[in-house]
Each structure stands twice: as structure tokens, then as C-alpha cells.
Amino acid sequence: MDWSVSKKALLCCILALLFSAAPQQKGFCGASTVALPESLLFVSTLDGNLHAVSKKSGSIKWTLKEDPVLQVPTHVAEPAFLPDPNDGSLYSLGGKNDEGLTKLPFTIPELVQASPCRSSDGILYMGKKQDLWYVVDLLTGEKQQTLTSSFAEMLCPSSSLLYLGRTEYTITMYDTKNRELRWNATYSDYASTLPDDDIKYKMAHFVSNGDGLVVTVDSETGDIQWVQNYNSPVVAMYIWQREGLRKVPHTNVAVETLRYLTFMSGEVGRITQWKYPFPKEKKPKNKFMATLYVGKYSTSLYASPSLVHDGVTVVPRGSTFPLLEGPDSQETEEDKECVITPSTSVKFNAGLRQRNRINFMRNYLLLIGHHETPPEAHTKILENFPENFPRNQANVIPPTTDKKGEEKVNDSGMDDGPPPTSIQEPGASGRTVRSEAPVDSMLKDMATIIFSTFLLAGWVAFVIVYPKNVHKQQQLQHQEFQRQMEERLELLQRQQPFAPVDAGLGLSPDGDFLEVARARSDCSDHSSPNVTPRASNHSNLSVSEVGSSTYEQEDGEEDFTTVRVGNITFRPKQVLGHGAEGTIVYRGQFDNRPVAVKRILPECFSFADREVQLLRESDEHPNVIRYFCTERDRQFQYIAIELCAATLQEYVESKDFDRHGLEPVELLQQTMSGLAHLHSLKIVHRDLKPHNILVSMPNAHGRVRAMISDFGLCKKLAVGRHSFSRRSGVPGTEGWIAPEVLSEDFKDNPTYAVDIFSAGCVFYYVVSQGCHPFGKSLQRQANILLGAYSLDSLLSDKHGDIVARDLIEQMLRMDPQKRPSAESVLKHPFFWSLEKELQFFQDVSDRIEKEPLDGPIVRQLERGGRAVVKGDWREHITVPLQTDLRKFRSYKGGSVRDLLRAMRNKKHHYRELPAEVQETLGSIPDDFVSYFTSRFPHLLMHTYLAMRICAPERPFLPYYPTAEQLQKTQTQCVQRLPEPCTRPPQSHTALPTSQTQEESQPVQPEPSSSDSSVDTGHPEVLGLPTGSDVLSGNVSERPTVPLGPDVLTAPDSSD
């Protein structure tokens, strides 16, 4: 009885404990207030995240993280297929006829559903499908359970749980011709259906390609509901309806197009109003085109349909890099450049692809961008294997087949089996057949064979000869067409004002521009009276819409033909240069001022508008090219900019070029000043090179200046952004592109540091008089990706080379975060005048004059100092100066501090020095500074690096970048910074002349070179850094060690 009572009591206790602990267990039954799933919108992104967002604001409530939607191999030598993450469609890269991108007529789910199957091009498909159920907490998005066909846990039902189905489709392709695995991929999709017809979905979602920007618009009113960025391309959107996901449509739009529509609202980076889906005129002004966007995610490519406006660059059909092995590549000598033309075939065999892996990956990345909608590939899935497919080697007489059957066999595409034959069995007698055949039948057969032979021979000859004739005819037709077009363009330019521009150029018949053109030039309001104005209904155009007119000089020579478009005039014969995409630069005039006129084709109008906008923002700086006006006629757009004398390449390489006193260091300083101005406006140039740095025309005083030009690839960063995406392509010119733009090793987006890297290449190009730090043009970009540069022209132990080498090495660092900002570059000693160097030495000497010998500043200055002063600096100066220094006090030859003190004292008392000493030192400041820096070339950089510890102090602000300037590119060169002060430095001021005046005192005995206080041994004996350590920036990495006894000797208090 007692045992039964105890048993019941124990059971009650256990139940009580379970009951009290039940509400704390995850997923256990319990009442809670939950948000209705109908109020949520589910956004699936390429990285595998499923975001539950608010329908009203787009804000993320929770995120379910899963594997990426697409998983493709990363070890393949080249991409074979591009999957579409939206529906699993497949696009082939470079078929057997090298036709470029083509769309396969089936998707990954369809292949899995039909597998095992075979396509007509000889590819075997093997598929696998796996279904999963995720049990998710509606409140937190936490995954409570995963249900598969082989595993399921017990879970208490709850109203706060969502059941989300997900299917993984895995497809593997095997090429029967090459007998190798071709490609494999896994595509995941959530189980969903379309919304019910009786429920009208009132929102429209516009998704940008390449990133996760989503713009949600009210489909009835056109009002923008919300804008959110989910940091990964959006592949699907769902709503919750009747206990399940229902897929809602979304429109993929190019990033540039969304920005273009954003710009229409008047506030870049933030959409406030938008006419949805297009302006509601009868004839819409915006023209959108369906394209295929090729993007990059992680280490693989994907493809997605996308809408673009008529200003976005689109790659035409058939444009791709060779993926299959072709003819032998053109052989070139090592020191000569090879220009690859469309007629030069490049052979991408295995060995070449292994040796030039970096160049191949660069071509691989060039696929990124918008392509014309590709055609559909001529392949199909075979329903069944042909009945006559050979399954064994038995020789059987096949039954008689009609032509339809033969056609069916041929259509099947089974080209890897032997053709159907009529092989008789041994027991069958062929003589019976021949005896029954009459002679006429044999003659007919022979005639048929002969006729077929001649017909086949003629067909072979036709196939060989016809393409050559067609190619020649196409070349002749192309030349004739080009000649006719040139004649038409020249004739049109000479005509009177044209008829209204059609909508093909972005204008509606009533003359209104696209709203994005509101920022264009209004210089046409002052149009020349020599040009007949357009009709009054075109007077509101912000860019001149007048037609171009021509007139000739009195002599009537064709060379003097002048074209006038609005306020711009130019002579077509005076061509200054040619640019990309058919751009031509002429010498012209604007308002009786000589200018350079860029003529741009209609396909590049959007880039021209962006360039004009950036020029307007930045041309107030003297080292940025000046913009004057924009005009447009029926064929072209014209931009009038400042006329310059030459490019930087001519400045460096032309011996006959008149530099007008513009020295290389001053030119580079002006270039960096212009670049710093652009960066202050949040503009990244992205194409800095010698061709884009111009030298101006001489002004009234005969002075010229350097200017940054060509803003076609510039990038304006949004407020709060410090980097730009690589999804839009690879900007820049090969050989001048920073490694983080192309390399897969850099996970962060490129920043302003790409311009610093290009500027470092330009710096070396100038100081070396035409050399590139990364070698010959064919190997430059590969060497850039490897970080293999050479500064052979700056290897001498001269003061100027040491300073220049220090700066260029910082600018060419592989890690973009360790490169200096533009403002920091301008503060470098490379740009200091000799007067500023002397003032710096004096300020340093004043600062450390009263510092204790064992203080951190003096210790930092003396660390590695013996290598700087070459053991004993007194032995390397002239005899008259040595004699003069001994008159008043003694100096320690192994001390940098005493060397700076001697320089300061002799500078202060220069007028009191004997004539022979003055003659030895030369004039102040130039000869005086050169006297010491030529003997001690490492002195300036050693002192500059050591005294960074005092950079925040007022006297040193002109010499060092501020903390804010260092932070702009996150340039914290910890290895180059000395140890911080352990105590605040003593306040000091520059010592007046009366305090530094040398007193006439008896000459103190000077220790000899054999004295223990003057150690002329190697600096590494003391554990101090050598000169190479100072240059490599490893000063602060050395441990603090006791200094030699000569350094600890107290200075004479009289000086």
C-alpha cells in the first residue's frame, strides 16, 4: 500500500514538472499572439535567404537562411552553361558554331522531371529531386524542424508555425562525344502556386539586376509604396494565401534603368515619385528593351531577363570570348605588342589556359552585362531511343522501311551509331535477287550512281567556293554601305535645320525630352542668329535641338568647311583624336573661344549625359577639364570642353614638347589635386592613365597646368556609400586597372583606392620617363593581379629616388585599405619644396631640443639612426664646416638629433659664418638643403617617419595628413607608425635667435673616433633598424632597445 502511494506521488511530481517546463520549450504547444501571415511578403534572394517583409513598408521582420538558389561547380576550366535563378532556365555559352549565348528550350526542373533523358546534341541528363518541408516560427523566423522523406520529428501543432516547402533540383550532364562530365548544378525553389483569380494583387514590384534593390509601386495609382535593398539579387516573391505560398510577379530591370527612373524624380539615390509603369501619354517617351543580364554571384555566373532603357549599353548577339579550341594564336615577339583583331583567332587550349589563367578569367568577367535576347538553341529532348539503335552485333536483315521511317531516324540525331545497313544473312542467297532483276534495272542503278556522284561533287565544290564568294561580296557591300553612310552624314551636316527628331533618339514627336535630360545644358538659349531656329513648339528644349549648318570661306576650299550646331562650330577636317564607340574630337569654337568638340553617337547619349553632369559638378577646379556647352542635332551630340595642348604621354615621351616650365613633380601634384577634388565630391574616376591627363594651353603669363579629363567611366557614389559594385562590368583600361577590380580574392567592393593605384602607375611613368611599374603592355594586367611590380628606375641611393620610391610603393599596395588617400598623397615629402624641407628639419630640431634623451620621441628618432648618418656624419661633411662646428661645442657623430641641431644652428647663423663655409654650404634654402640631403639621402624619410608620433601637434600639421584624411580610405599603416607617446609631449615653441646664439666659449675637447661614445660599428649590432628597414616601413616593429652611450651624452646647455 505504501509503495503504491509513493508510486502515485512520484508520478504526480513528474507530471507537475513537465507541465511547469512545457511553456519554455521551443515549438511546444502554447497560446500566443501572432501576426497574420497574410500581412507579410516573402522575398527570396539569390544567396538563399527568404526574407519575411512587411507589405506596407518592405522592412524585414525575419530572415530564413538556406543554401543559395543556384549551386554550380567552381573548378571547371570555363563556364559551359548559365542558369537563370528565376525559373531554372539554361543558356549555353558558345556552341559548336560559336554563335555566342543561346537559350536551351528546357529548364532544370523540366530536365529533372524527364531524366534520364538525352538531347539531340548528344548530351545525357541525369537528374535528382529532393523535397523538403521547413517548419518555421512565424514570429521569429526560427526553423523549428526540417521534414524530409527519411526523417521527421514529433512536433506539437501550433498556430504560429509556417510550413514552407522547398524543392532541390540537381542535374548532371554527360557529353557522349567527348566522354566526359560536362556540367552539373543544383537549383532550389519554394513550393508555390499562382494567386487566385478572384483576388486582384494591387502591387507591382520592380527588381534591379545585380543587387537586391526592390521598388514597390501601387499598380493603380502609380504611387511608390516602398523601396528596399536586400543586398542580393531577388529571384522570387510570394504572398501567403490559403495556407500556402503564392508566387507574385516581379519585373527585372537594369540597375542603370532604375537609377535613370530615380533620376527623373530629381533626387538621386532616393525615389520619391515615379510614373508607373510608363508615362501615361499615348506615345510613351521611354523606350524599354528586353535583354539578358549576365551577372556574377560568388565565383560563378548566372543569367536573368531584364528590361533596359535605350541608354544602356547592350552587347550584341554572338559576342563572346572563344571557349573552344581554335586555330593557332598569332605569335609575337616578347618585346613587341600584338594587336588582336576580329580576324585574329585565339587558341584556348589546356596549356595556354593554364599559363594565362588570369587573362582567361578577365575575359570570363567581361561577359558581365546586358546582352541582346539570345536565340533559342536548335536542340530538343528525345522522347525515346530509336528502334533501330544498335544494341548488339547480330547481323539481321532489317524489314523494309519507308521514307517516313528513315526521316524519323535522321531527325533523331543519333549520329554516334552506325548507319542503317542491309546486311544479308549467310544463308540468304543473293543470286536469286540478281537473277530476277532485269538488265534495265542494272543500267538505271549505274546511271543513278554516276549522276549522284556528279551531283555530290558539285555540291562539295559549291560548299567550298560559295562561302568565299559570299564573304567577298559582304566585304564589298559593307565598304559600299560605309561609303554611302559617310556621304549621307556629310550631306546631312551641310543641310539647313532638320525636321523634328523622331522618338528613336529618345524624343517624342512633340519635341519633349526624356525626363532624365533635365540636367543638360541650356546654352542653346543663346543660339547664334546665323542658324534658323526650330518651330516654336521646340523652344522649351534644354539642349539645343537646332540643325547643323555649314558655310565655307571665300576661297571655297573644302578644308575650310565649318559646321555650326547651336553655339558650337568646328571644322570636320581638324580632327584632334578618336575615342571609343565612334567618338571623334574636333578642334572648334564656342563663343569665339577655342575648344575641343566631342562628337558622340546616339548609342552613347546616356553616357554623354552622365559625363556632362559630372563635369558640371567638378570643373570649378583648375586641374579638372572645363566644360562649356552641350548641343545636339539629328545625328550626334556635341560636348564643348577646354582645348588642351597635349596629353601626359606627349609630355613624357616627346622630346620636342615645350613644357613651359611645368616640372614633373608640379604636374603630378596638380594631377593629385584634381583627383582629391573629385574624391571630395564622391566621384571615382576609374580610368586614370596618361591619355586622360592633359596639359592645358599656355595662359597669358605663359603658364600651363595639368588637368584630368574623360569622365565617361566616372562613378558618382551615393550619400553614405564609399564603394561601387563590380556587377556592371570592368571599368578602366587594361594595364592601369587596380587588382581589386578584377581579382576574385577581394571580397569587398572597390573604393576610391582604385584611382590611387592608377595614379601610382602614372607617377612612376612620369618619374621614370615612360616606364610602367608592371612591365610590358602584354603582361601588365597579369602582373598587377600578381602584385609583381619593379621600380628599377628608382633603385639608386639618391635622396629624390628614395622619397619617390616610398610614395609609389604605398600607392601600389595590393591591399586597397593600406593605400593613402588623395589628401595624404599631397602631404608626402615627394611634393615638398627645398624650403619646406629645411623648415621641417628646423621644426623637428626645435621640438626635440628640450626632450629628454630617454623620451619616446628621441628614442624613435635615434632608432636606426646610425645607418642614416653613415656611422659618423662628421666624417662626411667638408673640412671648413667641420672646423667651424668645433669652435663652439661638440657634436656626436652617431646622433641624428645632433645632425639636425647642427643644420639648425648653421641656418640661423648663416650670415655670421666665414666666407669659405658659406661657399661650401651654398645659398639658403636650396643649396643648403641639398648639401645635407645629398650626403645623407635617407635623412628626410627617416625623420619624417620617426616624427609621425608628433603629427597631431600644431607645428607639424602642414607636414602630415590629419586623422580624417587618413580615415577616408581606411589607410591605417600600422607598420609605418611609431609607438604612441606614453606621456604628453612638452609644450614648446620655436626657439628665438637669441636662445640659439652660439656663445664664444673655449673649445671643448672633442672625442676622437676611437672614443667609446662614438660607435661607428654596424647599426644592427645595437639591434637598430638599417636603412632598408626605414624604407620598408618596419621602423615601429623594432623593439625599443637602450641607445649607445654617445646618444645618452648630455648636450651642451649653451646651445
Query: How many Cα atoms sit within 13 Å of 53 on the Cβ side?
Result: 23
Residues above pLDDT 90, as percent of the chain: 18
pLDDT tens-digit readout, 575-588: 888 876 678 899 99
Give residue for cell 613633380.
665
pLDDT of residue 802: 95
Q: How far apart are the C-alpha atoms of 680 and 849, rounded to whole Å?
A: 39
Identify the CATH homologous superfamily for domain 493-532+539-642. Answer: Phosphorylase Kinase; domain 1 (3.30.200.20)
- Do the beta carbons of residue 543 and residue 520 sit within 8 Å? yes
Mean pLDDT of 21-43: 54
Please list the residue range(s) of the chain that carry CATH number 3.30.200.20.
Answer: 493-532+539-642
What separation in angstroms does the CA of 25 have from each of 20, 28, 29, 156, 814?
10, 6, 9, 11, 51
The pLDDT mean for the chain works out to: 70
- H or E, element range at 355: helix 350-355
pLDDT of residue 883: 87
- Catalytic option among 310, 609, 633, 687: 687
- Do the beta carbons of residue 379 and residue 104 sit within 8 Å? yes
pLDDT of residue 44: 93
Give residue for cell 502515485.
8
pLDDT of residue 236: 92
Identify the CATH homologous superfamily for domain 833-983+1014-1048. Answer: KEN domain (1.20.1440.180)
SS3 call for 713: coil
- Do the beta carbons of residue 770 and residue 652 sit within 8 Å? yes
Nine cell digits for residue 323: 571557349
Mean pLDDT of 698-719: 83
- Do the beta carbons of residue 58 and residue 183 sit within 8 Å? no
For 270-322, give the secondary structure using H, E and C.
CCCCCCCCCCCCCCCCCCEEEEEEEEEECCEEEEEEEEEECCCCEECCCCCCC
Q: How confident is the model at residue 469 (pLDDT cuts 50, 70, 90)?
A: low
Q: Judging by DSSP bridges, how do beta strands 369-372 and 314-315 pair with one another?
A: parallel
Mean pLDDT of 147-171: 74
pLDDT of residue 224: 83
- Do the beta carbons of residue 104 and residue 92 sit within 8 Å? yes
**CATH architecture type of domain 651-831:** Orthogonal Bundle (1.10)
Q: How far apart are the C-alpha atoms of 992 and 1001, rounded to whole Å?
A: 20
Number of other residues whose CB lies within 10 A of the CB of residue 617: 17
Listed in order, strand segments (DSSP E) in 865-992 are none
- Do the beta carbons of residue 611 and residue 604 sit within 8 Å? no
pLDDT tens-digit readout, 735-783: 899 988 887 767 677 888 999 999 999 999 999 999 999 998 888 888 9
Q: How far apart are the C-alpha atoms of 63 and 466, rounded to whole Å?
A: 62
Helix, strand counts (H, E) of the chain: 28, 35
Nine cell digits for residue 833: 619644396
pTM above 0.85, yes or no: no
Whether 687 is catalytic is yes
Please list the residue range(s) of the chain that carry CATH number 1.10.510.10.
Answer: 651-831
Listed residue (789, 846, 827) closest to 995, CA to CA: 846
Q: Judging by DSSP bridges, how do beta strands 81-83 and 89-93 pair with one another?
A: antiparallel
Q: Judging by DSSP bridges, how do beta strands 250-253 and 203-208 pair with one another?
A: parallel
- 678 vs 259 pLDDT, higher one: 678
Give residue for cell 673616433.
1009
pLDDT tens-digit readout, 591-635: 888 999 988 887 666 666 767 777 777 667 889 988 888 888 877
